[in-house]
Amino acid sequence: MSKRLYIETYGCQMNVADTEVVFSILAAHGYERTDDISQADVILVNTCSVRDNAEQRIYGRLEQFNVHRRQRPGVLVGVLGCMAERLKESLLESGKVDIVAGPDAYRSLPLMLQNAGPGAPQINVLLSREETYGDIVPVRVDANGVSAFISIMRGCNNVCSYCVVPYTRGAERSRDWHSIVREACDCFARGYKEVTLLGQNVDSYTYEGCTFAGLLRMVAEACPEMRIRFSTSNPQDISDEVLQTMAAHANICHHIHLPVQSGSDRMLKKMRRRYTREWYLQRVEAIRRYMPDCAITTDVIAGFCSETEEDHALTLSLFEEVGFDAAFMFYYSERPSTLAARKYPDDVPQEVKTRRLEEIIAVQNRLSLESNRRDVGKVFRVLVEGPSKRNPAQLCGRAGNNKMCVWEDAAHAAGDFVDVEVTGCTQATLFCKLVG
C-alpha cells in the first residue's frame, strides 16, 4: 500500500523548489502526496533558519506534528532544509522528530524513511560540492499550474557576516545548463507560462563557461512564449551583459530583486557586502539606462551590530533616492556561528531595531504607493493567476514588473495573457480594466 506524504514548506523560493524535488524523489518510491495532515503517514517540514522567528515558528509546528505522531503510531515526522542542517542531532533530542535531512541529503530520504521508527531516528546532514538534483524532474506543488520555480544553482560562496545560508546550504554550485533549458521547455510543454530561475546569487552562475547572461539568453530563446523571471541578484555581481540580455528579450520580465541590506558604507563593510552605496546607486542607474521601465525591489536589515542613527538615516535616504517599487524589510536577528555572531555584539536594543524597521516600512509604503501611482494610465500585459481572493468576479495576475493587478473579467482564466490598463491603485495592488 502506498504511503501518504504531507510536506509543509517555510523559507525562501528555493525551499519551495526543493520540496518539489522531495515529492519527486519520494513519488518514485511509492509515496503519494496528501494535503490533509490527518491522513498523512509521513509529515515533513522544509525549514528556514534565516532569522530566529522563522525557527520559532517551526518549533511550534513540530509540537503540532507531534500530536499526530502520538495519536497515530507509525506516523513519521521529519525536518528537512536549513534548520536540519544548522541544528543537526540536537533536533532529535526532543524525541519529537524521526528524520533530520539537510538540503543535500534528499536522495537518501527513501532509505531513511524505510529505516526510521520508534527508537531509530535517522539523520543525514552531509553537504555536497556537486549535488544539484539536476536530473530530477520536480513534482510541481503550486495549484495554479501557471508559474514554476527552476533552481539553477545551490549554496552560496559569499560570507555576508549576518547570514546563516552559507552554513546551511554549503558551497555554491551551478547546475548543468542543459538540464535547466530542458526543464524550462518541459514546463512550457506542460502548460506553464512563467518560470523563475532561482539561486542565492544568480549572477555568479557558471557552468562550462556559460554565464548567467548566457543562461538567461538560452532559456529566453528556447521558450520564446514563456515569461522568464529570476532571483536573487547581488549588486556586486549583476553585469551589464545581464541587463542587455533582459532588454533584448521581450519575454524576460523587467524586474530585478537587488537586496541592498543597508544604505551606510560602514554597515555594508561590516556586513561583508562587497559593494558601496555609490556602487549600488550606479547599478540602479545602469538598470534604468537599459530598461527605464524596470522595477527594482530590495531586502534591507534594520539594526545590524553597532548601527547608529546616522547609519539608519543613510538607509532611509537611499530608499528615497532609489524609490524602490517594493521591499522585504527585517530587523537584524543574530544567527549562531555566523561571523557577526562571533565578532560583533548584537548591541542595538530591540526597541530601537523595531522603531527603525517601522520607519523604513513607513517610507517604503509611501514609495510603493508612489510607484503604483506612476503606473496609472499605463497598459500592461498580465499573466492571469486566477480569481482575485477578495472578489471572485475579478481576476488577478502579475504585470512584468511583478506588481499584482486585479480587474473585472469573465472571459479569461489562469494561464492567459491579457492586456489591462491601470485605472487606480493602493500601495499593494493595481486596479485595472481590460483593454482591446
Binding site for ligand SAH (CB under 6 A): 50-51, 162-163, 165, 200-201, 232, 234, 259, 261, 299, 301, 330, 332-333, 335
Q: Which residue's C-beta sits nearest to ligand F3S?
A: 11
- Residue pair 81/15 in contact by the 8 Å Cβ criterion: yes
Question: Out of ligand F3S, ligand SF4, ligand SAH, none, which partner does residue 151 contact, by CB within 5 to 8 A per kind?
Answer: none
Most distant pair of Cα atoms in the chain: their distance: 65
The least distance separating ligand F3S from the CB of residue 106, rounded to whole angstroms, comes to 14
Binding to ligand F3S by residue 14, rule CB under 6 A? yes
Question: Out of ligand SF4, ligand F3S, ligand SAH, none, which partner does residue 11 contact, by CB within 5 to 8 A per kind?
Answer: ligand F3S
The least distance separating ligand F3S from the CB of residue 103, rounded to whole angstroms, comes to 8
Q: How far is it, in rounded angstroms, from Cα 320 to Cα 366?
A: 10
Question: Out of ligand SAH, ligand SF4, ligand F3S, none, which partner does residue 166 contact, by CB within 5 to 8 A per kind?
Answer: ligand SF4
Q: How far is it, in rounded angstroms, from Cα 243 to Cα 233?
A: 11
Stretch binding ligand F3S (CB under 6 A), from 24-32, 46-54, 138-146, 370-378: 46-54
Q: Restricting to residues 378-397, which ones interact with ligand F3S according to CB under 6 A?
A: none
The least distance separating ligand SAH from the CB of residue 335, rounded to whole angstroms, comes to 5
C-beta of 14 vs 252, nearer to ligand F3S: 14
Question: Out of ligand F3S, ligand SAH, ligand SF4, none, which partner does residue 14 contact, by CB within 5 to 8 A per kind?
Answer: ligand F3S
The least distance separating ligand F3S from the CB of residue 199, rounded to whole angstroms, comes to 10
Stretch binding ligand F3S (CB under 6 A), from 12-20, 134-142, 189-197, 326-334: 12-20
Residue 222, CA distances (Å) to 31, 146, 148, 185, 293 in order: 33, 18, 16, 7, 25
The least distance separating ligand SF4 from the CB of residue 272, rounded to whole angstroms, comes to 8
DSSP state of 162: T
CB hemisphere CA count around 59 (13 angstroms): 11
Q: How far is it, in rounded angstroms, from Cα 109 to Cα 227?
A: 33
Stretch binding ligand SF4 (CB under 6 A), from 158-166, 216-224, 313-321, 328-336: 158-166
Binding to ligand SF4 by residue 163, rule CB under 6 A? yes
- Residue pair 256/281 in contact by the 8 Å Cβ criterion: no
The least distance separating ligand SF4 from the CB of residue 410, rounded to whole angstroms, comes to 44
Q: What is the DSSP string of 190-241?
A: TT--EEEEE-TTGGG-EETTEEHHHHHHHHHHHSTTSEEEEE---TTT--HH
Buried b (16+ CB within 10 A) or exposed e, 146-181: bbbbbbbbbbbebebbbbbbbbbbbebbbbebebbb
Binding to ligand SF4 by residue 200, rule CB under 6 A? yes
Binding to ligand F3S by residue 19, rule CB under 6 A? no
In 320-393, where do the E strands start and end?
Answer: 326-331, 379-387
Q: Restricting to residues 138-197, which ones interact with ligand F3S according to CB under 6 A?
A: 164-165, 168-169
The least distance separating ligand SF4 from the CB of residue 85, rounded to whole angstroms, comes to 14
In this structure, the strands spanning 255-257 and 295-302 are parallel
Binding to ligand SF4 by residue 166, rule CB under 6 A? yes
At residue 19, what is the residue type? T
Question: Out of ligand F3S, ligand SAH, ligand SF4, none, which partner does residue 34 contact, by CB within 5 to 8 A per kind?
Answer: none
C-beta of 122 vs 201, nearer to ligand SAH: 201
Q: How far is it, in rounded angstroms, from Cα 197 to Cα 207?
A: 15
In this structure, the strands spanning 3-9 and 42-47 are parallel
- Give me the helices (H) in 72-130, please: 82-87, 109-115
- Class of residue 63 by CB neighbours under 10 A (exposed 0-12, middle 13-18, buried 19+): exposed
Question: Out of ligand F3S, ligand SAH, ligand SF4, none, which partner does residue 48 contact, by CB within 5 to 8 A per kind?
Answer: ligand F3S
The least distance separating ligand SAH from the CB of residue 209, rounded to whole angstroms, comes to 24
The least distance separating ligand SF4 from the CB of residue 323, rounded to whole angstroms, comes to 23
Grid coordinates in use for 386? Answer: 486566477
Applying CB under 6 A, which residues contact ligand F3S? 11-12, 14-15, 48-50, 81-82, 164-165, 168-169
